[in-house]
Structure 1
């Protein structure tokens, strides 16, 4: 997947002219992508823009109300409903989820529980009549890739609230040449992501990197405590949203020319989505991005949804252990979105 594969989703959001409706659509995309790790991020976002009108998401009065709506949505492939004995009712509109990497493959039709019926009675199934999806979703949230490549010992004892699973996920940071450390000096900032030791072309990330030789250093303020995991997610968002150079890509970025508020919003959004999808400890209370999302106004025009969704996808893959170590390319600072 690339950022370009999310462009049509961004375009659909941009066409919503009513500010309140657009705000609810942005909230809906965020909530659905976070809640459905059983669907790839691209499919969850595709579903959100198609489901917004059928579920009348614009009638929800807050982000919390949107999240409650998401909890009650039961969307499944038509084939699964058929196997359960509930074909689509006549005239039911499918939610079509396509694979942008295979344009020749037909989209897969999905249906809401309210749009399938018992062929004998014509009544749609109750929640008690079909297997729930809670355990299935939880299983996807807990799925992990190759554990042998992780270095959990690096983060054992980082904070008492972090479990062995959390440290195992953080143990994959080395694959992009990153190390997270505590920042003991007093500061108002919660974290800093820095390209502290730029690599040369052909240099590979190695498992035993420390803050003294890592390419990237994430300095986490000591007052963050349990929220350090979410803050590391934000630091990863800085890299994967192209606000710091991705040194393993020849076309990279340095974040110059991007409004600093947008930098923080995009980075926090991408990290927050990924942390939610992998079952990491989410940020307690409010956050800069969540505040912006609940302002009843659309996110800033410069907020680039394709960049955020693609970044979240890559952060999720890294934390889950689905990626391999990177090798530095002949990178240069440029903006791949321009």
Structure 2
């Protein structure tokens, strides 16, 4: 595969992961790998054509197709995806998924199929049961300096404490859009507290007050820096940093936020312009690490992460 086709293949993978929040990121990544084998990426000349391709893919599990009176066609290729496990020691099981193009109606008595976009949007808007607005982020809803943020995103910020993080507006420094650094080094076995404040937070994410609606984007990017190893990580598997802090953290946030129904950055970064134009990423760019970071960001902000334990 030449470099241009490789870049289009990367776009296909990223955009499919962004477009399918009903699948976990590892599942969506696996689906993209299985589906890409039948796609000749040299036929797609630009980013919009790749997005159009992804938008037309309607992938559902076999059990769902059957429940609504559909069956795979005789030559339909099954997309086999691992079923999420509650424990890592549980046995691995795979579930067959099929594209709508490879199914046919076999029963008129079944309930009408729920529109695919309605299903996807429901998953995209879902927040974890423990998600709740935090009083400390009340000032994020004010309209001062255009920083008004919808209540749903404020609820997401109420999950930051689970990884020992807090976010606040920076009123002194003006040399960047955000800053993330450890403020407190937890002891092994320590858990963050729901009432985490600036003084006891493991991480303090400081936001430039002029970034407006991009506040959540910056918070996601800062979380990516932790997950990618650019900022010391106090929980879970340790991450070795790469050499492309900005591009990798931007990419991880770009993937996670679409799945969370949060608009992408209002001003395009150099990484996004390069990605959109189909330029190959630098050889040191770590897509696998980016996908892992995106999954971690999504789980934190959606509210699916339990309070972590410091290692």
TM range (shorter): 0.7 to 0.9
- Residue 253 of structure 1: CA displacement? 4.8
**Equivalences, count:** 299
The 1:135/1:102 distance shift into structure 2, 3 A limit, reads farther
- Residue 178 of structure 1: CA displacement? 0.9
- Residue 321 of structure 1: CA displacement? 1.4
Classify the secondary structure of the residue corresponding to 1:252.
Answer: coil
Cα distance between partner residues in 2 of 1:53 and 1:254? 31
The 1:185/1:295 distance shift into structure 2, 3 A limit, reads farther
2:29 paired residue among 45, 48, 55: 45
Classify the secondary structure of the residue corresponding to 1:223.
Answer: helix
Conserved 8 A contact 2:18-2:258: yes
- Residue 254 of structure 1: CA displacement? 6.9
Any runs of at least 4 consecutive aligned residues in structure 1 with deviations exceeding 6 A, and if so which? Answer: none
Q: Deviations over 1:109-148 (max 9, x none)?
A: 222222223469xxxxxxxx8531111111111222233x
1:267 paired residue among 231, 249, 270: 249
- Residue 30 of structure 1: CA displacement? 1.0
Tell me the residue number matched to 2:102: 115
Q: Deviations over 1:45-77 (max 9, x none)?
A: 111122224354442222222122211111222
Cα distance between partner residues in 2 of 1:80 and 1:326? 34
Pairing 1:226-245 to 2, within 5 Å after superposition: 226-245=213-232
Tell me the residue number matched to 1:132: 115
Cα distance between partner residues in 1 of 2:132 and 2:103? 44
- Residue 99 of structure 1: CA displacement? 4.4
Conserved 8 A contact 2:18-2:256: yes
Q: Deviations over 1:144-188 (max 9, x none)?
A: 2233x6452121221443122111100111111111122234634
Cα distance between partner residues in 2 of 1:82 and 1:150? 36
1:143 paired residue among 93, 110, 126: 126
Structure 2's unaligned 5+ residue stretches are: none
Structure 1's unaligned 5+ residue stretches are: 1-16, 121-128, 330-338
TM value normalised by structure 2: 0.86
Q: Deviations over 1:239-267 (max 9, x none)?
A: 11122121124x53574xx32xx111221
- Residue 303 of structure 1: CA displacement? 1.7
